[in-house]
Amino acid sequence: MDWTAWIEQWGEPAVLAVAGLAVGVGFGFFAQRSRFCLRAAVIEFWHGQFGEKLAVWLLAFATSVVAVQLFIVAGWLDISTARQIAARGSLSGALLGGLIFGVGMVMTRGCASRLLVLSANGNLRALLSGLIFAVVAQASLGGVLAPLRETMASWWVVDGGPSRSLLALVGGRPMDGLAFGAVWMVTAGFFAYYSGWGFWKWAGGIGTGLMVALAWAGTYQVMSHSFEPVQIQGLTFSGPSAEWLMRVLAEPGEPWTFGLGLMPGVFLGSLVGALVGRDWKLEGFGGGYTMPRYIIGAILMGFGSMLAGGCAVGAGMTGGAIFAVTAWLTLVGMWIGGGVADRVLDGAHKTAPAPVPAVGETPTAVSAPSAAP
């Protein structure tokens, strides 16, 4: 690929936006076909049901770790200037933000990326939740909720550099990270084998993880071949959601970014996946889930993501793949927050295991939803 020629012809903003669009299409398609969802994986884990939802998430996460570390070993990626490593970080924000986000994703039946995927499948509940998520994320970034976020983030901070890298703290190297990811891939494969997976589960889980790695590699290549300062970044949804909100409300003319290309790409990829699998179905609010619950959950996710420095994909998988300390703390918070929320909000109503519904199908066996989003 001649990145220099593309940049000279089209400019950095256009190249970044096209790269974001391409990665987004791939992520949306693979995530839709594999039913990739952190919330569903968290619920299966805390219920002791090590089934396909948990295996899909593990496979995607492990793939992202392996691919990112391979890129680093091959010299195709340098994450030393990535925000999650180079900038000052907040450990309190990562943990508390993860906890808050975990509660919110259980209430809305999906994390930020899953809401966008489901919106493209005709789910109006997810669409409304996603819009509220974007509004609250922007309010937390630079609006009325920003002072509260900054206060909570200031309680426990860590300097940028080696102190933000788990590999550096334990004296590890990219090859050690690669081995770690390989172990998780074997674990995910073990669960997948006993879940009786079909083609799309395998392809979707691996493809979703690869898109996380390609986002890092793509933005790094643009940075490396550009004469203008370009920030390397990964795949995330909290910042781009807020960015798209401001782009719609503000006057046109601002340059395009990777995140601005990513969001429509994910929507388009998920729509194609839904049409291929005949999963598209228009649906609104109904069943045991009420509108207030979705709204509150979206508010919690919007604030939690900005406090943590990213969503389940951005702070979790993207940051986790480069072994950022804050990303792993965020993941821990999301798994704990999601498990507690599921037990407190839905546990009392679960008298029997719920059947696994198709995408867009409302569970009917119990009053609370199953792990399947």
The confidence band for 366, taking pLDDT boundaries of 50, 70 and 90, is: very low
- Joined together, the tokens standing for residue 1 give 């690929």
Tokens at 338, concatenated:
């999601």
Where would I find the H helices in the chain? Answer: 3-10, 12-34, 38-46, 52-74, 83-86, 91-108, 112-120, 124-142, 146-153, 166-169, 174-195, 199-225, 238-249, 258-277, 291-308, 319-321, 325-341
Work out the mean pLDDT of the chain and round it to a whole number: 85
**pLDDT > 90 in the chain, percent:** 46
pLDDT value, residue 67: 94
Q: Are 230 and 12 in contact (CB under 8 A)?
A: yes
Predicted confidence (pLDDT) per residue in 140-184, tens digit: 998 999 999 999 999 999 998 888 888 888 888 888 889 988 998
Hey, where are the domains in the chain? Answer: 12-348
Report pLDDT for 3. 76
Half-sphere exposure of 366 (CA within 13 A, CB side): 16
What digits encode the pLDDT tens for the residues 237-289? 988 888 888 887 766 667 788 888 999 999 999 999 999 888 888 877 665 55
CB 222 within 8 A of CB 20: no
Q: pTM (2 decimals)? A: 0.88
pLDDT 10s digits, 186-198: 888 887 777 777 7
Q: What is the DSSP string of 149-160?
A: HHHHHTTSEE-S
Tens-place pLDDT, residues 80-96: 888 888 888 899 999 99
Q: Where residue 1 falls among pLDDT bands split at 50, 70, 90? A: low
